[in-house]
Amino acid sequence: MKIIFKNQDNSIGIITPSDESLSFTTVAQIAEKDVPSPYEYALKWGVDEEGEDIVLEYETYHTPYWIVDTSSIPTDRTFRSAWEINESMGKPDGFGGESNEFDDDLLKAYYGELNDSNK
């Protein structure tokens, strides 16, 4: 399985979960952690009292991701910059998370149960 998402510059990002990470977490948990977090973009600009440009209104964009079979990723990398996400895939499987770290319970499971050097 792979995780695909559209970057802020409209290029396609692909995440390949490692076997080690899949030994203690799910593909969806990896996606939530590693897909870029939400970002804000300006909808309306103005000028403050000092004459500086300021954002009056903004919108938050949450990065959608899809979990796909590895076979759906093109193997020919010649036109890699032209790859697009097929909108017929349906709704996203989720959205990038607020944190780029696994939660404490997953880390405790990994370091406490899977890593013999920490016992």
35: left (phi over 0), alpha (psi -120 to 50) or beta: beta
Helix (H) or strand (E) holding 30: helix 27-34
Residue type, 89: M
Which 3 state secondary structure label does DSSP give 78? Answer: coil
**Rounded-to-integer distance, Cα 92 and Cα 117, Å:** 38
How many CA atoms does the CB half-sphere of 35 hold within 13 Å?
28
pLDDT in tens, 19-42: 988 888 889 989 988 898 777 777
pLDDT in tens, 73-103: 888 878 877 888 877 778 889 888 766 677 7
* Residue 118 confidence (pLDDT): 46
